[in-house]
Amino acid sequence: MPELVIHTSVSRNKITPTVLTSLSKTLAGTICKPEQYCTVRVVPDQLMVFGGKADACAQATLMSIGHLGVEENKAHAAVIFEAVEKLLGVPQDRMYLTFVDKASSDVGYKGTTFHTIMGK
């Protein structure tokens, strides 16, 4: 259910399977949920400008059912920004990360919702 989506100006040829699996492991580790439920989507080759410059940049969204909040988001941001800089080459001052805390009833899986699966 945790989903990390990164829109970036970085070219497609730099987004290898290893980059994706590394981001998936990073997401599972920071959000403290099993990797089997984590999804990572990198949308490369975006026509983007950040701060008036067309250098490498990104806009990311982290969606999760719980495990988000004021203190948690600070920790997630530190981990995700570091990973994106290391794996995609996007400097930490050229990316925004938005956090979305979804209700379990708003996320579907296996023909039902996580509200039913989790019992809450």
Q: Determine the Cα–Cα distance for residues 96 and 31; give it in Å rounded to an integer.
A: 18
Q: Looking at residue 89, what is its pLDDT?
A: 99
Q: Per the residue annotation, which of 2, 34, 44, 91 is the catalytic one?
A: 2
Is residue 72 over pLDDT 90? yes
What is the mean pLDDT of the segment spanning 42-50?
Answer: 99
Do the Cβ atoms of 47 and 8 come closer than 8 Å? no
Mean pLDDT of 16-22: 99
pLDDT at 119: 86
pLDDT, mean of residues 6-26: 99
The percentage of residues in the chain with a pLDDT greater than 90, rounded to a whole number, is 96
2 classed as catalytic: yes
Compute how many other C-beta atoms are within 10 angstroms of the C-beta atom of residue 103: 12
Number of helices followed by number of strands (H, E) in the chain: 3, 6
Strand partners, 65: none
Q: Give the predicted TM-score (pTM) of the model.
A: 0.96
Reported as a single tens digit per residue, the pLDDT across 78-109 is 999 999 999 999 999 999 999 999 999 999 99
Separation of alpha carbons 54 and 51, rounded Å: 8
Q: Is pLDDT at 120 greater than 90 in this prediction?
A: no
Domains annotated on the chain, with CATH? 3-118 (3.30.429.10)
